[in-house]
Structure 1
Amino acid sequence: MATGALTPPQTEMAPPEVLIEFPDNRLLIDLCGEYDRNLADIEQKLGVQIVRRGNRLSILGDEDSQKQAADVLQSLYERLEAGREVETGDIDRELRMGGSDAGTGVRDGDQLEMFKGVAVEIKTRKKLVEPRTEAQKAYVQSLFANELAFGIGPAGTGKTYLAVAVGVSMFLGGHVDRIILSRPAVEAGERLGFLPGDMKDKVDPYMQPLYDALNDFLPGKQLAKLIEEKRIEIAPLAFMRGRTLANAFVVLDEAQNATSMQMKMFLTRLGEGSRMVITGDRTQIDLPRGVPSGLADAERLLKAIPKISFNYFTSKDVVRHPLVAAIIEAYEADGPVG
């Protein structure tokens, strides 16, 4: 029996390393993070190995992961070059960016192309606020450009925070005379029972997220003085009936918990020289069973009206703890709750 020479097993060649050079060594140190924790985060999430060699980073791994890691590192370095910091949330955002927005029928590229690469900043007394995702940039642009804007998406995407920041910025710039923030006073699936105190004491627990946002943008004493002078008002939705809100920046938060009648009442409060922002999350409706959400009705009825903008967010736009995005995606995959 003839025997042939043994053929060595074929081994798949590993892709060559990808080298990226960063000219500013000081910024490279910030990019890597303390004890290289930023690099470790990217390595863990993309399954690559990143090795620092002088002012260059070498990326080892499969070709797709190498390219994604290189794109993330380049974007974060450009952020540092622009004088901004790099935090864990920024890394997570860069890893999650791209693709289509499932559930909205709107692709990132279609909705946001005109805003790509545009620096958007909101100046307040205490801090400079910067939208972190392309959807947030488009949202902020629409708040400045439109008299009535909707922000719809899951918790943690910055809908209310950015709206309040824009309101404070426009107030400080003299574009409006007042800021009015409102929410429906609806219990989130639990009965709180009798609340002691006067009317303010009873409704303040519902309004606390709005106070939290304002405290981020205005010094405490100035905020207290503006509230005392009623140049900043925080009130339940029911208190808006019968008013005409002129020369004001008006925000309705948690709008999914407004009934259709309440939503119509609120929208028709819009007065001369005012801007109005409606924010809500269609997955967190706390209205009694069988009561339709006014947010859904407004979305259906008003989409065709010019100068009313609708801005949508997904889990890719979450800027809280990275786990929040994973939690939202898990619930979305499981279908509607209840």
Structure 2
Amino acid sequence: MTAAPVADPVVLEFPDNRLLIDLCGAYDAHLAAIEKALEVQIVRRGNQVSIMGDPDASTQAASVLNTLYARLEGGRTVEQAEVDSLLRMGGSDVDTGTRAGDQIEMNIGETVEIHTRKKRVEPRTEAQKAYVKSLFDNELAFGIGPAGTGKTYLAVAVGVSMFIGGHVDRIILSRPAVEAGEKLGYLPGDMKDKVDPYMQPLYDALNDFLPGKQLAKLIEEKRIEIAPLAFMRGRTLSNAFVVLDEAQNATSMQMKMFLTRLGEGSRMVITGDRTQIDLPRGTQSGLADAERLLKTIPKISFNYFTSKDVVRHPLVAAIIEAYEADSGQA
């Protein structure tokens, strides 16, 4: 019996050895991730990389490496999240364009970047790029999808970008203080101490985009506010960038109250995950109501995410897909 012919390796050559080091990752971690995901073998010699294995898988691995190298040539970084995203998307979904603008840029290839005081933020999937664009283009935008898809993080990044660009005077971030198994009254401290743990993800996002001393000063001056949804009643939010996070846990009345706070010169973003509702049984989610009632109104944008847009650990995407598959069979 004659043995099956062995496919010739795919050989890539990268001229800049410094960029090649970043491409391979610390201890060749990026190459190892590609090898494991696509079941290929990657060997690096000098400035050449040889890929051996199934021809289709080798071609996809080459596409991933070429796309990531183009990012590095454009002055961007390559982290594990970019590698994982490309592997999920088939090898060519991460932008490679170069910096060309101020607060947000969109050029050939739909490159999108958000510039803040501490870092440059880049949406990693097509859904995220469309979402960021809608945040700049619409006064009211919804981001709906599973955990880890960047809904809140990107919304806060855009808010900081618009604030430092002088487009809004304030940033207001809010969440329903809905317990997921533990009652607020059982927590120690005063009202602020009880509420702050629910707001911590918003503080975390802000700390990524603004220096600590500046953030503390802006919070002290009330130019950045982080407050429970219940504290929004009776207010008119003008010249502000307003984010309501975890909106699936707002009731229909709370959602109506919040949406009608929108004032002149403001933008409002509503984010939520329809699969993580913590409201009492029989209570209608305000996010579902808003989606049903507002979809036909012009200048209100609805943006949807799936497990393919998850930018956390790759296992998060697999976990979400497993739960989605189980709910589909139920």
Confirm or deny a common fold (TM above 0.5).
Answer: yes
CA–CA separation in structure 1 for the residues paired with 2:51 and 2:211:
45
Report matched runs for 1:51-90 at 5 Å: 51-90=43-82
Task: Determine if contact 1:115/1:137 at 8 Å carries over to the other structure.
Answer: no
Deviates more, 1:61-70 or 1:197-206: 197-206
**Letter of the structure 1 residue corresponding to residue 84 of structure 2:** D
Q: 1:235-259: per-residue Cα shift (whole Å, max 9, x none)?
A: 1111111111110000000000011
Report matched runs for 1:54-133 at 5 Å: 54-97=46-89, 117-133=109-125
Larger Rg: 1
For 2:4, the equivalent position in structure 1 comes to 12
**Letter of the structure 2 residue corresponding to residue 47 of structure 1:** E
CA–CA separation in structure 2 for the residues paired with 1:188 and 1:275:
29
Percent identical among aligned pairs is 82
Deviates more, 1:276-285 or 1:260-269: 260-269
Q: Which structure 1 residue ranges, 4+ long, deviate > 3 Å from structure 2?
A: 189-193
CA–CA separation in structure 2 for the residues paired with 1:56 and 1:301:
57
Task: Determine if contact 2:140/2:267 at 8 Å carries over to the other structure.
Answer: yes
Deviation (angstroms), 1:30 = 1.4
Task: Determine if contact 2:251/2:284 at 8 Å carries over to the other structure.
Answer: yes
Q: 1:187-227: per-residue Cα shift (whole Å, max 9, x none)?
A: 12344543343322221111111111111111222112111
Quickly say closer, same or farther: Cα 1:318–1:191, change in 2 above 3 A: same
Quickly say closer, same or farther: Cα 1:115–1:192, change in 2 above 3 A: farther
CA–CA separation in structure 2 for the residues paired with 1:174 and 1:337:
50
Task: Determine if contact 1:255/1:295 at 8 Å carries over to the other structure.
Answer: yes
Residue 263 (1) aligns with residue 255 (2): yes
CA–CA separation in structure 2 for the residues paired with 1:98 and 1:238:
44
For 2:291, the equivalent position in structure 1 comes to 299
SS of corresponding position for 1:335: helix
Report matched runs for 1:191-202 at 5 Å: 191-202=183-194
In structure 1, the gaps of 5 or more residues are: 1-8, 100-113
TM-score, normalization by structure 2: 0.90
TM-score, normalization by structure 1: 0.88
Alpha-carbon RMSD across the aligned residues, in angstroms, is 2.0
> Aligned to 2:23, which of 13, 20, 31?
31
For 1:222, the equivalent position in structure 2 comes to 214
> Aligned to 1:210, which of 202, 211, 217?
202
Q: 1:160-207: per-residue Cα shift (whole Å, max 9, x none)?
A: 111111101111111001111000010123445433433222211111
Deviation (angstroms), 1:13 = 2.5
Task: Determine if contact 1:116/1:134 at 8 Å carries over to the other structure.
Answer: no
For 2:273, the equivalent position in structure 1 comes to 281
SS of corresponding position for 1:72: helix
CA–CA separation in structure 2 for the residues paired with 1:319 and 1:117:
21
**Letter of the structure 2 residue corresponding to residue 88 of structure 1:** Q
Between the two proteins, the alignment pairs up a number of residues equal to 316
**Letter of the structure 1 residue corresponding to residue 308 of structure 2:** K
Report matched runs for 1:238-249 at 5 Å: 238-249=230-241
Residue 164 (1) aligns with residue 156 (2): yes
Deviation (angstroms), 1:115 = 8.4
Deviates more, 1:325-334 or 1:115-124: 115-124
For 2:101, the equivalent position in structure 1 comes to none
Task: Determine if contact 1:115/1:134 at 8 Å carries over to the other structure.
Answer: no
SS of corresponding position for 1:272: coil
CA–CA separation in structure 1 for the residues paired with 2:59 and 2:69:
15
**Letter of the structure 2 residue corresponding to residue 178 of structure 1:** R
